[in-house]
Amino acid sequence: MQEANPQPQESGQFVQQILQQNQELLQTLYDGHFPAVEMYVMRNSGQEEDARDLYQEAFLAVWRNIQLKKFLPADEAEFAAYLFQVAKFKWIDQLRARKIRPITGIEPPDNTAAEWEPPDPGDTRRIREVREKFAMLGSNCRELLQRFYFLKHRMQEIARHFGWTEPTAKNNKYRCLQQLRTLLRDQPKNDIQ
């Protein structure tokens, strides 16, 4: 009966090290499990950059779930399995989004020349359309775009708020803008009054 006790203690120690932000352990976990996710993404229509961004988001999501005590892995193997599942589901979601909204000729997110600009204040019909389509975005997209365009927060602040890195925040802002553009582009032309 005493043999059952060491396992929970080991589990607790593993989680405690993560909760205490043991940098050596976190770096080992981060570096050690990227190749499996990268291979999965590359075999499923992705690029190395896709894999890096996706892995970063998945790792942060797993880390956050541990912080919130929603997931308490017993050991590294359980951590790795959960991390892979999170990454896999995130990648499947991205592939679905790409199929629904085909993307061609994407400019890098750092290119601000193609940034979305708010409509002319005198164009009330266009403002109404933008508001309607903006409301259709997910809550994270709405908040991210509001913080950037209306509250004038820097990307670094936005990244910190969401628990992302700055490059991830830029990518997410770009994706949200693409979603809004797609919604506006799909707006029927015959509703002009």
Proportion of the chain above pLDDT 70, given as a percent = 77
Percent of the chain whose pLDDT exceeds 90:
1
Token couple for 5: 């006790």
**Selected residue with higher pLDDT from 130 and 78:** 78
Alpha carbon distance 109, 5 (integer Å): 51
Domains with residue ranges and CATH for the chain: 2-100 (1.10.1740), 124-191 (1.10.10.10)
pTM value?
A: 0.48
CA 59 to chain centre: 10
Alpha helices in the chain (DSSP H): 6-19, 23-43, 48-67, 76-100, 124-135, 139-145, 155-162, 166-185
Query: What per-residue confidence (pLDDT) applies to 3?
Result: 39
The per-residue b/e assignment along 116-132, b for 16 or more CB within 10 angstroms, e otherwise, is beebeeeeeebeebbee
| Whole-number Å distance between alpha carbons of 50 and 70 | 27
**What pLDDT is attached to residue 187?**
59
> Tokens 């400019």 sit at which residue?
107
The confidence band for 168, taking pLDDT boundaries of 50, 70 and 90, is: confident
96-140 pLDDT tens trace: 877 644 333 333 344 433 444 444 555 577 777 888 888 888 888
